[in-house]
Amino acid sequence: MIYIGIDPGLTGAIGVLDHKGQYLEVIDLPTREKEANGKVKKKIDSKELCKTFERITDLGSIPSFCIVEAQTVYGGIHPGTQASILESYGAIQACLEIEEMHFDVAWPSSWKSKMGLTKKPKDYSTAMAIRMFQQAPLRRSKDHNRAEALLLAKLAMDLHLADIPQAANG
């Protein structure tokens, strides 16, 4: 069994732990450029993302349990940014379904509460992940997405071992 956590978004990441909760890898979500309204923007590269999931699970031969951080739209955010967030979230869920990987979603307030990170700045998540997964590449300030992906993978493991994956939906 492997445990996977996904922090969605164009700068998001996938964290992977083994059956004992040991760090295996962290992967930045693959992106590609797209043209929209005469501008070049990024989007999740769904084809590469599906290939990444295939590789992680060795073409489905390794059972996995995954937690994806839930996304929604918020007031005060540009509509184009909201669309990008939801497009990325949808691409991730579609690839998980295509690869027949079991997953659940966790709202940020719920999973951060379980990890003691409620209302904490992103660097708290990074510091916690560095303590838990010392060999993970989390030294840059922009690695908070990688850190949160690994913490979500830890949550996936904890919930799976407790056999209560529905609790992630808080």
- Give the per-residue pLDDT at 47: 96
SS (H, E, C) 28-59: ECCEEEEEECCEEEEEECHHHHHHHHHHHCCC
Locate all alpha helices (DSSP H) within the chain, ordered by sequence.
46-56, 79-98, 108-114, 122-132, 144-162
- Give the per-residue pLDDT at 163: 65
- Give the per-residue pLDDT at 133: 97
State the residue for tokens 């929604």. 72
Contact 42, 102 (CB under 8 A): no
Closest CA to 152 of 41, 12, 58: 12
Instruction: Tell me the torsion sign for CA atoms 138, 140, 146, 147.
Output: positive
- Give the per-residue pLDDT at 75: 78
Domains, the chain, ordered by start? 2-169 (3.30.420.10)
- Give the per-residue pLDDT at 62: 85
End-to-end CA distance of the chain: 24
pTM: 0.89
In this predicted model, what pLDDT tens digit does every residue of 54-84 receive, in sequence order?
999 987 688 899 999 999 887 788 888 888 8
- Give the per-residue pLDDT at 167: 47
Closest CA to 13 of 165, 126, 164: 126
The whole-angstrom separation of Cα 33 and Cα 30 is 11
Task: Average pLDDT across each block of 10 residues of the chain; the chain has 170 residues. List them in order.
Answer: 95 95 96 83 94 88 92 82 89 95 94 92 92 94 94 94 57
